[in-house]
Amino acid sequence: MTGNTPTHDNRIARRSVLASIGLGTAALAGCTSDSSSDPENNSTDSGLASGESDVFLDVAMEEDELEIEIADDASVEFINLVDPNGELYDQQRLESSETRTSFEILGRSDDFVTGDYELVALNGDEQIDTATATLEAECRITDVLWAAENPDMEWDTDLPHWDEYAAVVIENTGTIPSLLTELEWAGAPVARLQSKESQSYYHEKRLPPGETTVYSAGSVYATNDAVHSLDCNVLETEPMTVTAVVRVGPDPSYTQQITYDGDQSCELSIEDSSDELIAGGGEN
C-alpha cells in the first residue's frame, strides 16, 4: 500500500474489518477502555461531533475538507471515513508523528451522501478508536426580494435593468456547506414574457452554515424587452416558484404570489410568499 490510495484487495480487507463496526449516534464516542487521559482535553469543539475520545481531538469543516486532529501520543496509521451506508468513503494514511489529516468532502466528482459518518482510527488492522461526525446540509429559502422594492441592498446599479433583479435568502441549518448551482424561476415574469414555463440562471455559490443572500443573474421581474411586452390584462394573481439546485442536501423552493395589473404598462405587486423543501430533491 502506498500513499493514500488503498489497493482493491486491501480495500476488501478493510471493509471486512469495518463490517463489525456499528454506526453510532451523532455524538463522538471513544472506544478505548484503558485511557487515563483528562476528558476535558479530549473533546471536539467543532460542532460536527461532540463527546470524549482518546484519539480524535477535533473534527471540523474547513472550506471543502473535513479536518481531523488526533492526540500526539496516539499510535494511528490509518483513519477511515465510513459513510452512513457502512461503505468506506475514503482513507487517509498518517506518517510517523503526524497528528492532522483531512478528507475532501465537497470537491469530489462522485455523489456525497449526508448523515452520520464514522471515523475509524487503525494501527495496521487493529481498531484503536472510533468517532461519529454528523455531516448534513439542510438549506431553506427564507425570502425572495425584488430590487425595485429593496433599492438599498447590494445591487449592481450600473446595470440598465437592475431594478428587475431578485435576491434569494438561503439559510443552511446543517453542519457543513452546500453549493448552489442553479436558481430556477418557474412562472417568473421574465419566463412569462418569453412564453416559457421557467427561466434558469446558473450560479456557483458556496452556502456555509448560516444565512446567505444570492443575487439573481438576470431580470427575474422583467415585463418587457426590446421585442415583447407582457400582457397583464390576461393575468391576475399568479404564483412564481424559485427552486435552488444544490450539490449537497435537498433542493429548497419558495413560492411568491405576484399580482399583475395595468394596461399600457405592466404593474407588479407581491402578495404573499411561502417556502418548502422538495422532498428528496437534490440529495447527493
CATH number for the domain that contains residue 23: 2.60.40.10
| 156 and 176 fall within a common domain | yes
Record the pTM.
0.74
267: buried, middle or exposed (CB in 10 Å: 19+, 13-18, 0-12)? exposed
Mean pLDDT of 15-34: 32
Asked whether the predicted pLDDT for residue 225 surpasses 50, the reply is: yes
Condensed to tens digits (0 to 9), the pLDDT of residues 46-90 reads: 456 545 788 999 999 888 899 999 999 999 999 999 999 999 999
Both 51 and 143 in one domain: the answer is no
Range with the lowest mean pLDDT among 49-53, 266-270, 273-277? 49-53
Task: Print the SS3 string covering 142-169.
Answer: EEEEEHHHCCCCCCCCCCCCHHHCEEEE
Average pLDDT over the chain reads: 81
Residue 17 and residue 131 share a domain: yes
Is residue 2 one of the residues assigned to a domain?
A: no
State whether 15 and 80 are in the same domain: yes
Residue burial 79-107, b: 16+ Cβ < 10 Å; e: rest: bbbbbeeeebbbbbbbeeeeeebbbebbe
Q: What domain range includes position 203?
A: 139-277
**Beta-sheet strands, E only, within 6-138:** 56-62, 65-70, 78-82, 88-93, 100-104, 115-123, 126-135
- The total number of structural domains in the chain stands at 2
Residue 10 pLDDT > 90, yes or no?
Answer: no
Same domain, 152 and 117: no
At position 116, the amino acid (one-letter code) is D
Let me know whether 227 and 203 are in one domain. yes
Q: Find which of 32-46, 110-124, 162-176 is predicted with most confidence, using mean pLDDT.
A: 162-176
Please give the Cα distance from 49 to 134 (Å, whole number).
Answer: 7
Mean pLDDT over residues 185-204, rounded? 96
Nine-digit cell string for 215: 443575487
Domain end call among 100, 135, 170: 135
In this structure, is the dihedral angle defined by the CA atoms of residues 188, 183, 249 and 12, taken in order, positive or negative? Answer: positive
Return the C-alpha cell found at 195. Answer: 412564453
* 101 & 200 share domain: no
Domain boundary among 93, 117, 135: 135
Q: Does pLDDT of 212 surpass 60?
A: yes
Tens-place pLDDT, residues 100-137: 999 998 877 666 889 999 999 999 999 999 999 999 99
Q: How far is CA 253 from the centre of its chain?
A: 15
Q: Are residues 144 and 271 in the same domain?
A: yes
Domain boundary pick from 82, 108, 135: 135
Q: Between 47 and 24, where is the model more confident?
A: 47
What is the pLDDT at residue 166? 98
Same domain, 186 and 73: no
123 and 147 fall within a common domain:
no
Same domain, 171 and 203: yes
Confidence (pLDDT) at 5? 36
Same domain, yes or no: 198 and 110? no
Residues facing 242 on adjacent strands: 185, 254
Residue 3 located in a structural domain:
no
Percent of the chain with pLDDT over 70: 77
pLDDT class of 247 with cuts at 50, 70, 90? confident
User: What whole-number distance in Å separates Cα of residue 160 and Cα of residue 148?
Assistant: 13
Number of Cβ atoms within 10 Å of the Cβ of 109:
4
Work out the average pLDDT over 265-282. Answer: 74
Question: For residue 176, is it within any domain?
Answer: yes
